Structure 1
């Protein structure tokens, strides 16, 4: 059954007529969508691609993922109707691997044309060029996604200039650009040199995401992510040790190479008995249901899906200013607070203030991120494919 936020039967027929007109096939067939992925690693970009592939297939499209390698844990989340084609021979991640992946994908689309090509995230932009050079009879309408901030002050003026030049070259072959928040959209338009970008929310939530449970009565602080240095969990443990409230506990969900160092750090700070590292879990929602507060301590992020999940669970958040995207999610005291990167003292003050404040209405917090459900997002992408294909149809 197609969720109500997916395209209607009439809309799907319209997409099919459009696709038929573009590449001259018989009317009434499903829309063909291609996706290029390097592999199915545990990453935000890959998770988004898998979610959208499943949603588009559920909506009646034919979806093919062309990948450098079919390996990776996220492959298990693909629906049975999504076709996966691996490069032969496989193309593992490495020097120039994305360029070679783009060439292999273009060769596949040349033999097996698709109507629209989705390029997920900044990392995959180098694959665009080869498909953009395909003959018009088989060239797909290409939609590239912006998954991270494009303008970063820490780059400095000269490095940012060089970055802009490279991004402009990589995005040249895209027919449309989808950004996860408005500033990234504006930066993409500035870099690409024209108004081509549109804001489409991160599909971080299932359509049937559970409603929030009542706010937890305890003082459990939850964080989640790979246990690597850039996630800032060392800063979080230092901040937790500065709290005056000794009834609070800290749970850091995730796995990674920093696990032993973090356990040792908690012990050295005198909070080892109140810091829990349960390891990797497939779903953090049960931990969020038991939490009073969620903390994102990262040094840098693209678009933090975990903040969306925390707010959908009805939990306020404290986040570092690891990306300009946090301003779109934390915009008042009810949703939480933003602190500088690498400042445990400021983080401790913010956490303490949240623990001392009355619990916000969890349903109001969840309502703020309802637009991140997969149904509306998948539908928005289908409309963007339509617009991109129309532009190509009228300019061919």
Structure 2
């Protein structure tokens, strides 16, 4: 395996799920003796340190900040870069970076692209969905393999690309040394936890609206994350008279202490690819109430694991939160066992198997 050389392309090291997973995979592959290089448009963002010392990081010169059209600039820079060194495979993490795959079409280097976000969104409507699928076929027309995070996404990708090229590999949301789950706290005012970037599609406004429908002494709501909606969410909490029960905690480097303190986790998004927070919540032994926004909600088929509610329905969300809080706490060990296959060691190995296959 030491002879394998992987190039990963990132626009930067921003606080995104795609970037975090790609950098953590790079570090895991490098620990296995694989030569890993990350080519990034810029060093913006805090995630670069997760790569460790064994991963080579090359930055575009001049830097390519995220602006309109910058992905095309990044793709051209990568095309020039791969003409110099020799890599066995190029890994394109997430839908956002697909234009790079198109730029590498026609080169001799095998390309593996990852599907990280939802491929079929009802919110798009038929015309926009048709345009999305047409663009996806164009951008990924020459890739040797595609990795999806669920069997549903795998089947959707193969249908859109009109060829069987996709492999399902679990989201590597958990470290191999992740601690075992802690007992659920028995407190008079339990904590309901939500986490993610504070943007409209994450559904935090709807979550706050649902939370306001609960009796005053039901729970506290803690939202972890940062983003442009922070002030609007704070104003909403004040206008609904629940500001004293809602905490906007900002960004945290490690969500696990927050999960340990929580009684319940809520995912209120309008759409998701395969959200890490759902996996992390179950690994910490915490049940989840989720909107029907992602194939990952199949992890909640076990009754004690949580509930799935319709999209755009604050009343159903509030009822589900109240139902879960009224039930006896589930067995944390049983919930953690549901996501054991998401540990990064086995996931990193599965990716390397795909890379070896396309190389040969």
TM range, smaller chain: over 0.9
**1:207-226 map, 5 Å:** 207-218=176-187, 219-226=190-197
Q: Residue 253 of structure 1 contacts residue 281 of structure 1 at CA under 8 Å; is this kept in 2?
A: yes
Q: Report whether the alignment pairs 1:330 with 2:303.
A: no
Q: Is the 8 A contact 1:212 1:314 kept in 2?
A: yes
| From 298, 301, 306, the counterpart of 2:269 | 298
Stretch of structure 1 that moved more, 47-56 or 103-112: 103-112
The secondary structure found in structure 2 opposite 1:110 is coil
- Structure 1 partner of 2:241: 270
Report the secondary structure of 2:118's partner residue.
coil
Kept in 1, the 8 Å contact 2:4–2:34? The answer is yes
Aligned to 2:165: 196
**Contact 2:118 2:271 (C-alpha < 8 Å) held by counterparts:** no
- TM-superposed CA distance for 1:129, in Å, is 2.4
1:256 CA drift (Å): 2.3
Distance apart, 1:92 and its partner CA: 1.9
Deviation at 1:118, TM superposition (A): 0.5
- Structure 1 residue 227: Cα displacement: 2.1
SS at match of 1:132: coil
**Who is 1:248 aligned against?**
219
Paired position in structure 2 for 1:85: 58
SS of alignment partner, residue 334 of structure 1: helix
**Correspondences of 1:80-119 after superposition (within 5 Å):** 80-119=53-92
Q: Distance in 2 between matches of 1:71 and 1:268?
A: 36
> In structure 2, what is the Cα distance between the partners aligned to 1:144 and 1:305?
19
- 2:345 matches 1:375: yes
Of the candidates 347, 352, 355, which is equivalent to residue 322 of structure 2?
352
Using the TM superposition, give the Cα deviation of residue 308 of structure 1 relative to its aligned residue in structure 2, in angstroms: 0.6
Q: Distance in 2 between matches of 1:159 and 1:369?
A: 34
In structure 2, list runs of 5 or more residues that go unmatched: none
Rounded to whole Å, the distance in 2 between the matches of 1:282 and 1:269 is 30
Q: Quote the offset at 1:329 in angstroms.
A: 2.1
Unaligned runs of at least 5 residues, structure 1: 1-11, 17-29, 391-396
The separation in 2 between residues aligned to 1:245 and 1:369, in whole angstroms, is 33
Deviations 1:17-61 (A, max 9, x none): xxxxxxxxxxxxx31100011111111111111011000100101
In the TM superposition, residue 150 of structure 1 has moved relative to its aligned partner by: 1.1
1:179 aligns with 2:179: no
Aligned pair partner of 2:47 in 74, 82, 85: 74
In the alignment, does 2:119 pair up with 1:150? Answer: yes
Matches within 5 A, 1:228-247: 228-244=199-215, 246-247=217-218
Q: Give the count of matched residue pairs.
A: 358
1:245 is displaced (CA, Å) by 5.8
Q: Please say if 1:362 is aligned against 2:335.
A: no
Q: Give the CA deviation at 1:333.
A: 2.1
Asked if structure 2 preserves the Cα contact closer than 8 Å seen for 1:318 and 1:338, the reply is yes
5 Å matches for 1:280-291? Answer: 280-291=251-262
- Aligned match of 2:5: 32
Q: What's the secondary structure of 1:189's corresponding residue?
A: helix
- Name the SS for the 2:266 alignment partner: strand
User: Secondary structure, in 3 states, of the residue corresponding to 2:241?
Assistant: coil
Deviation per residue, 1:338-377 (Å, 9 max, x gap): 1122221111100000001111111111111111111011
Alignment of 1:127-142 (within 5 A): 127-134=100-107, 139-142=108-111
Alpha-carbon distance between aligned partners in 2 of 1:374 and 1:326, rounded to the nearest angstrom: 17
* 1:117-164 Cα distance to aligned partner (Å, 9 max, x none): 100001111101232322xxxx22211000112122222222222211
Is the CA contact 1:181–1:328 (under 8 Å) kept in the aligned structure 2? no
The reply to whether residue 59 of structure 1 matches residue 32 of structure 2 is: yes
Checking the alignment, whether the CA contact within 8 Å between 1:41 and 1:74 is kept in structure 2 is yes
> SS at 1:111's partner residue?
coil
Give the TM-score normalised by the residue count of structure 1: 0.87
Q: What do the CA deviations read for 1:193-213 (whole angstroms, capped 9, x no partner)?
A: 111100001111111111000
